[in-house]
Structure 1
Amino acid sequence: MENQSFNADLLLLEGLKVTPQSSFPAFILLLLIYIFIMVSNIGLVVLISMERSLHQPMYLLFCNMSINDVFGATAIIPRLLSDVFVASADRYIHYIDCVIQAFCSHFHAGTSHTVLMIMAFDRYMAICNPLQYATIMTNRMVLRLTVSAWAVAFASVAILLGLTIRLSRCRRIILNPFCDNASLFKLSCQNLLWNHIYGLGSAVVILGSSIGSVALTYLRIAMVCVSSRSRVLNSRALQTCATHLAVYMIMLVSCFTPLVLHRYPQWSDHGKLASIMFHVVPPALNPAIYGLQIKEVRQRIFKMFYNNKVALMDGKLNI
C-alpha cells in the first residue's frame, strides 16, 4: 500500500494521545483553557473598541494579536476536544478539512510573528522618535501595517500548502495531534525536494526577520534609554517593552520547543504535545499579560468591574 497511488479522501488522524482514565480530565482542562482564551481575547478587543481613550496604535495593533489568537485556538482546540473520547482507530478527517486546518495552523503561526514585528516597530517609534510618532503612526499607517502583517503570512502559507496539495497520496495516516503541512506532504511518495526547500526557506525568512527585527529594535531602544537621563522615558519604555518582550519570548519558547523535542525519537510524543502548546499557551497568556501590565487597560477593566458591582448593590438596595 505504501508504494501504490492512494487517493482516498478520508484520512486517519492520530489526535491527542490520552489514556481512557485521563480522557475526561484532559477534556475539561482543554475546554476551560479554550473558554478562557475566547472570553479574555474577545473581551479585550471589545474593550479597546468601545473605549475611545484606548484608540491608540499600540492597543489597536494588539487587537490583531487577540484576533489571531482566537483564530489559532479555534483552528486546533475544538477538533482536539471532539476526538478526546473517540478511539484512535476511528479518528477520521476528510482531506479538505485537514488542509484547511493545516492552513489555519500555519497562518496563525506566521501572523503571530508578523504582528509582533509591527508592534515592535510601534514601540520603537514611540520611544526613539516621540516627536514624530503622532505624525507617522496615523490610523492609515496602522491599517497599512495590519494589512501587511496578515497579507505576508497569508501569501507565504498559501504557497506552502499549494506545493503540498499538488502531490498525489499513497498514505492516509496523519501522525500528529492535528494537521499541518509536514504531515500532509508526508502522505505522498513523490519527490518532496521543493516542499522541503520552500518550507525551510519560508521558516528561515519569517523567523529570521522576526528575531532580527525585534532584536535590533530593542537594542536601539536600550541605547536610547541608556543615553537618556529621563526617568519618565525609561519607566515608559520598561512598562510597554517588557510586556511586548514577554509575549514575544513566550511565543518563541512555544515555537521552538516542539522543534527541539522532535529531534529526539524518545521524546517524539512530548514533541507532539508541545506542538499543541503553541496554539494554547500564548493565546491564554497574551491577554492576561497585556490586560494586567498595561496601566490603561488594567484601569478600564477594574472600572468596569467596579461599576458593575456598584450597580448590583444599588439594585439589591432598591429591592
Structure 2
Amino acid sequence: MYIDRKALEDILKENPNGFAAIEEFQNKNSDFQQHANKYNIARRFYADPSDNKRVYHYTKLDNLNEILSSGMFYMGSINDMNDPMEVKYTYELAVKVLKSIGAENHEISVFQKDYRVDFFDTYLWSFSYSDYNQALQNYGDIALGFDTQQIQTALANRYTKPYFQNMQVGNAYVFSLKVEYNLDIQKNYITSVMSEWLRAYRGLRYPKTLPIANAIRLECLQALFLFSLCFKRYKYHQEEEIRFVLEKLTKDNKSQSDLLFNGYPKSIAKITSNMLKEIVVTHTNGADKKLKMIRAILDKNGFKKTGVRMTDLDY
C-alpha cells in the first residue's frame, strides 16, 4: 500500500502515533512486520515435514475399524474445540497486553469488538511428534503413525487449487503448525501486534488516514488469528502438539464443512495405506492385550504394510 507521507504531514504533525504506525507498517524489517507478517509467522511456527517425517494421532482402539474401513478422518472446526478456551486464549492474552501497554478502557472495548472477525472457516487435525506421549494417552489407547509429507500432500490435493490459482469458496489453504506453549514468546509476538494496533487507533482516525488505519487493523487481526491457531496454555506443553490446518474460503461467514457429525461441522481427511505407517499400542485399557486383533483389523481393511508395535513406555 503506497502512502504519501508528505501529504499527511499537516494532519499528523501533532500526532506521533500516526507516523510511528505508518513507519512500522511500511518497513518490512520493523518489529511489527517481523512479528505480524503472515509469511514470517508461518516460517517461525511451521511444522516442516522434512524435520520430522512421522507424526502421531492418538485415538481410541474402538474407532480403528471405522477409520480404516471408511478411509477417512474428520477434522474438527476451531469453533468446536475440546477446550473452549483454545481460540479465546490468544485474544484474552491480547487484552492483557493492551492493558500492560497503557490502553484505556474505551480502547480495549473497541478492540474486543474489532477482533470478532472470521477470515476463514477453519478446521484442525492434531498430532504429536512423540509416539510415547503420556499426556496424549488421555485421548486414546493407540497412536496412529503417519507420514508427515503425505498428510500435507493429500490435504492439499483435496482442498487446494494448483498454484493457488482460481481458489473458490470451499477451497482451502493447507499448512502445519507447531503449537507454541512458551508464554514469553507468545507475549513477545502479541505485544508487537497490539502496540501497532494501538498506534494506528490513536494516530490514524482521520478521514484521510482511515484506509491506512484499516489496512493496519486487518494485518493485526490476521496475525492474531494465526496466533490463535498455534498459541496454547503452558499447562498443556507435554502434548507437544502439531496441527494440520485447513483455512477454507467462505462467504458471509457460512460453514464450508463437508458434513455434520453428531451435529458438529467436519472436514474430511482421506487416508491411505501408504500414509499410515504404524500403530503404536499403549498399556491403556488393556490395548496391549489386543495386538492380534489390531493386526486383523489392518489386514481386513487393506493396510497390510502398516506395522504394529508396543509403546516404548513401560506402563
Q: Same fold (TM over 0.5)?
A: no
Which structure features the higher share of helix residues? 1
With the length of structure 2 as denominator, give the TM-score of the two structures: 0.26
With the length of structure 1 as denominator, give the TM-score of the two structures: 0.25
Structure showing greater relative contact order (alpha-carbon pairs closer than 8 Å, 6 or more residues apart)? 2
